[in-house]
Amino acid sequence: MRDLGKRSVLGVAIDAVDYEAAVARLMDASQKRESFAGSALAVHGVMTARQQPAYRSLLNGLDLSAPDGQPVRWALNLLHGAALTDRVYGPALMERVLASLALRNLPVYLYGSRQTVLDGLVDALRVRHPALSIAGVEPGKYRLARPDELVEIAERIRSSGARFVLVGLGCPRQEIFAAHLRPLIDVPLLGVGAAFDYHAGLLRRPPERLQRAGLEWLWRLSLEPRRLWRRYVFLNPAYVVLVALQALSVWRPTVERNHSSASVTIEV
């Protein structure tokens, strides 16, 4: 288990952790009934935070920001000598969390995506994890949420008896949602991106060799070129340049933390 705590990647506080350490933190919070907000961040999340100071401040206040993408892991190794041997991939992290919840008899709440995706996800999880207790499922609304709506969501989660919440809204919505909901419930929230779609069998996973080479973005671009081309064509090269500048100490970004997320738009 490797856990070096938070380290700056372009001024974004990323946790230098492996799967075991990430799951251990999450399970500890679940068993102790502690408020906890986490996510798995790839290059898109880091660069979105770089462009939006309010979102960056919110990310830096999360309890866990695991290195989802290989380029984020490489940056931690290059900049901070983290010696991480693998990334913490959202779908794989979700799978490990679900196995741990089933083992401990801790119910999970699934929030986000569409009802059709959730239906397929529940069916798949019942096959793979028959001992898992699913306390509730709720699709995301993908619109601005009023504070009273967040209170209602929190009440539904509490009433369900859930001890863990998986959030599948995609970046940056899921991190914003988790940060706003964290003060209202006493169980962990974890953003897992497109993991709901992967586990429901609606998205094909890239070949292992592409994943290890840090080229999953190329796979996803081939599947959704119209939606994703701007993200990868512009953000990926900019990320490489900024990491190089930080590595050479030409640029020394500071990690700004502000646990108040009031200035960030709430989307659910």
Torsion of CA 10, 91, 190, 70, to 10 degrees: -10
Mean pLDDT, residues 30-50 taken together: 96
Indicate the average pLDDT of the chain.
90
pLDDT in tens, 79-129: 999 999 999 999 999 999 999 999 999 999 999 999 999 999 999 999 999
Residue 264: predicted pLDDT: 54
Q: How buried is residue 83: exposed, middle or buried, by Cβ count under 10 Å (0-12/13-18/19+)?
A: exposed
Lowest mean pLDDT among 107-116, 162-171, 198-207, 255-264: 255-264
Strand pairing category for 3-9 and 12-17:
antiparallel
Lowest mean pLDDT among 57-61, 101-105, 252-256, 259-263: 259-263
Residue 258: predicted pLDDT: 62
Q: How confident is the model at residue 262 (pLDDT cuts 50, 70, 90)?
A: very low
Residue 208: predicted pLDDT: 78
Q: Which is nearest to 239 in space by CA: 4, 58, 11, 7?
A: 11
pTM: 0.90
Q: Do residues 34 and 46 make contact, with C-beta atoms less than 8 angstroms apart?
A: no
Residue 181: predicted pLDDT: 96
pLDDT in tens, 178-233: 999 999 999 999 999 889 999 999 877 777 777 777 777 676 666 677 776 677 77
CA 31, chain centre distance (Å): 20
CA 9, chain centre distance (Å): 16
Is the pLDDT higher at 227 or at 143? 227
Q: With 80 as the cut, is the pLDDT of residue 172 above it?
A: yes
d(CA 132, CA 71) in angstroms, rounded, equals 33
